[in-house]
Each structure stands twice: as C-alpha cells, then as structure tokens.
Structure 1
Amino acid sequence: MAASVTEKQCYTIAVDADGFDSRAHAELSYLEERLGDLDPDQVEVSTSAGVLRLDLRDGTKVVINSHRAAGQIWMAAVATAWHFDPLDDGRWVARRTDEELRATIARVLRERIGLEVAL
C-alpha cells in the first residue's frame, strides 16, 4: 500500500531551472545507482540523455526522466504515467495519486516480477 501524503505535506519547492536540474539529477543518479545493483537478469538498467530505463525480465519497460518545463520527474510503465513533484522534505510525490517516486518504482518491480526492492 502506498504511503499517503497529507495536504499539509504536499508543498512543492519553488526552484529555478538550475536548482531543479540539480535535484532531479541527484534523484535519478540515486535511482540508477541503487537499481544498477540489481541482478541484470531481473532488471536491466540503462541511461541515455538523462533518461533512466528499466527493462524487466517479463518484458515490462519503465522509463523515468526529469521534465524541466514542468518541474517534475515523469515515469511511465504498464500503460500508466506519473508526474512527481519535488517536496521540501526531498521526496518526489505525484499529487494526483499521493504516490512517492521510490515507492512506486518498488511497487512496479514487486507487482511485475516479484522483486522486493528498498529504495
């Protein structure tokens, strides 16, 4: 079950483009490093031009990238798209669903290939 974000917690940070790029790059680098430690037979991790791609053993493709104009990190997987906003506590949360980026990735991996990952 995804952790719920209360209205009080849902404050996005107003940052300039460079500040956003720095935060988004740090998050994507963290994800690449953590996911890169997984068994490549389970999850193949690749990056190109700032786009993080996960190819799961069941054929599922997960694409994660920063979107400067929107000030968000976007993720697409299993015919679903999420737009994650940066919060002042360092998390990235999709306002529409209250899902956190890291928890959403972990859930997709668990549901699609039965892999438990702590991000």
Structure 2
Amino acid sequence: MAPALMYTALLRARLMELLASGLVDKSEYDNLFITGAFSLLDALLGVGMEQVLEAMRLPEPICDALLGNGGRYQALPRTGAGQRAPTMAQAIAEQAAMLGLTATQFNRAQVQALAFADAMEF
C-alpha cells in the first residue's frame, strides 16, 4: 500500500505545483509541492495529521491546508483521483474554472503530473 500512497502523494505534489503556475509567486512552488507530497503522510504513518505536523516546523499555509483549515494552498486542487467516474468530468471542470483554467489545461497538468510520478522509482 505504501508505494501506491507515495505515488499519489507525488502526483498531488507535482499537480499542485503545475496548477499554481502564473497564480502564485514562484517562491511558493516549493510550499505547494510539500503540501501535496505531505497530504498522505497521515495514511502512510498510520497516525492523525495533527500528530504528524507536531513533529515538523512547516509554514502555516501548509499546515492549514493539510489540516483542512482552508488557506490559499487548500484552494488548489490536489487531484481528481478518488472521485467516481460520473462526477469526475464535472469536478475537473469546476476545479479548472476555480483556477481560471480550461478543462484541457487542467487535464494537461494532470498528465504532466502523472508522467512525473511515473518517473519516480519506489
């Protein structure tokens, strides 16, 4: 299970970074990548996210997003994965519109993120 979770976390990390292009300052890309990469640490470690974050010193926007407390990083969708097929197209269109992107641009970012995650070895 761990390799699948790590793959999904990397996918989320790269997708958040790609979707942020032109929306946030480049200095925030690393924080977005970390947000996506750490989004499944609770599942990987088998403990609550609050407990995971207690052991780290992360910027507040990252912690807010990981804890579901809102903030500017939580506004960026991590991935459409996990959604049921009949609603996935609608979810992608809504997420893309929220970011001012077309569904095609959003899908292109997802494909690039998948290629990135596929290139990693576990």
TM-score bracket for this pair, using the shorter chain length: 0.3 to 0.5
Normalized against structure 2, the TM-score is what? Answer: 0.36
TM-score (norm 1): 0.36
Greater relative contact order structure (CA < 8 Å, 6+ sep):
2
